[in-house]
Structure 1
């Protein structure tokens, strides 16, 4: 699992390109550097958009694409449901030393362990990267990328989320003929955390074998 540039243990700087294009290029370059002959891209949320942009370029070795509840916002489309201050305010508090309890007001439904992890790592998110990605949610048109995806594709959606709606699924079906769609009913946007077993189950055997539920 890659830390996207500007997050976690990856590089951050004033001069770094935080665009969707650069993020997609990172994924392709990573696979090439490892010499992967066959690989799948599984991207959650923003990662799903990165996966689409990467798949559009038809990189050698890519065999599958999984989009897990990807934001469908873009030029002329409805805005991404989360607001920018939700990210920026919590990042600044994390840099000042927020604990799990302090993080709870931003993520009230998360478990204690999930809150601790967020409090521990959120300070590594560079505000410049977050702003660029948030703006990209509304400026980058992944719907123009989707018809160029040539590998088998799975779209996973959340039953309790508002990121991908039924009408969005139908549009994606038209843009990516043959796309498979799975639905995790008892999960919000953070599907892997809200229903881990349901998340694994939703892959079916799409990646070549069923995934273990634990």
Structure 2
């Protein structure tokens, strides 16, 4: 398959949950790396990037809503879900810069040179990097429940940093983190699904099982993604900060009330990166696209109308 080509694709296992009405594509985005994506709707395009420990299925409610008047593209990130999981032969393989280039190549292969982009958690970090590296391609940007990487590391300190223990675990050199997590992957990834969901019913059993299976089969690549955030991703973001590079497009950030919990100004941290910013607090758990899909869809529509 030639780079940037695409082909119809079906979920890897019969019975896997899907986004109703969406077709599945497998798109080569780099040499030897193809992404699985669910695509639906028609109109101005928006790409939705999932977080951890999830797949594109986390957008199932929001995607169906937006598909009424937008082309909606929901990929599994490199290293996640049904997308390819190249070996982490160096830090660049799972750098957000590399993953952002994947997303731009995916959209172009599907016929979209310019598109809106929204990401949650890990996907928000990819979206953030895409906004910095590819401002001509990204018309609008939304980041859900995350901080830019250098700010994240800066605000975690003392006992409060215990909430991010997984960040420190997966930042360790290759070997030990992968072995520890793989020893009981379902318990590890299930811990976050349980801890971070204010409404457990928002992730029904079939979807939870799909998330756990996907993560169980992707331990090395998920760890490599997180390891990059402690190394090359932080370095790339700090270089942009020093150079004065900022997000040029309209930006919406939706978060839980992290600032009150951890003692910092979340909106202020984001405004330093995004001069044209709407920052809003959402009253739900971390998985806001599943716990408050109506609010998230409405915020994305408001962003797209700007």
When the two structures are superposed, what TM-score results if normalisation uses the length of structure 1? 0.76
Pick the structure with more strand per residue. Answer: 2
Shift of 1:143: 6.1
Shift of 1:187: 0.9
The answer to whether the 8 A contact 2:82-2:214 is kept is yes
Aligned 1:72-151 pairs, distance under 5 A: 72-74=148-150, 77-79=154-156, 81-84=163-166, 93=184, 103=190, 107=194, 109=197, 110-111=200-201, 113-125=203-215, 126-139=218-231, 140-141=233-234, 142=237, 145=240, 147-151=245-249
1:11 paired to 2:79 = no
SS of residue matched to 2:230: helix
The answer to whether the 8 A contact 1:90-1:103 is kept is no
Q: Distance in 2 between matches of 1:174 and 1:50?
A: 18
The structure-2 alpha-carbon separation of the partners of 1:132 and 1:103, relative to structure 1 and needing over 3 Å to count, comes to closer
User: Structure 2 unaligned runs (5+)?
Assistant: 1-73, 171-176
The structure-2 alpha-carbon separation of the partners of 1:25 and 1:11, relative to structure 1 and needing over 3 Å to count, comes to same
Correspondence for 2:296: 199
Shift of 1:70: 1.8
Shift of 1:160: 7.1
1:143-183 CA-partner distances (Å, limit 9, x unpaired): 65474321111111124798997512112213321211122
SS of residue matched to 1:148: coil
Work out which of the residue numbers 94, 98, 112 in structure 2 matches 1:22.
98
Aligned-residue CA RMSD (Å): 3.5
User: Structure 1 unaligned runs (5+)?
Assistant: 210-214
SS of residue matched to 2:87: coil
Shift of 1:32: 1.5
Shift of 1:9: 0.6
The structure-2 alpha-carbon separation of the partners of 1:204 and 1:39, relative to structure 1 and needing over 3 Å to count, comes to closer
Runs ≥4 residues deviating over 6 A? 85-91, 160-165
The answer to whether the 8 A contact 1:25-1:54 is kept is yes
The structure-2 alpha-carbon separation of the partners of 1:198 and 1:159, relative to structure 1 and needing over 3 Å to count, comes to farther
SS of residue matched to 2:80: coil
Correspondence for 1:179: 277
The answer to whether the 8 A contact 2:247-2:273 is kept is no
Correspondence for 1:65: 141
The answer to whether the 8 A contact 1:158-1:183 is kept is yes
Deviates more, 1:128-137 or 1:20-29: 128-137
Q: Distance in 2 between matches of 1:15 and 1:133?
A: 9
Shift of 1:7: 0.9
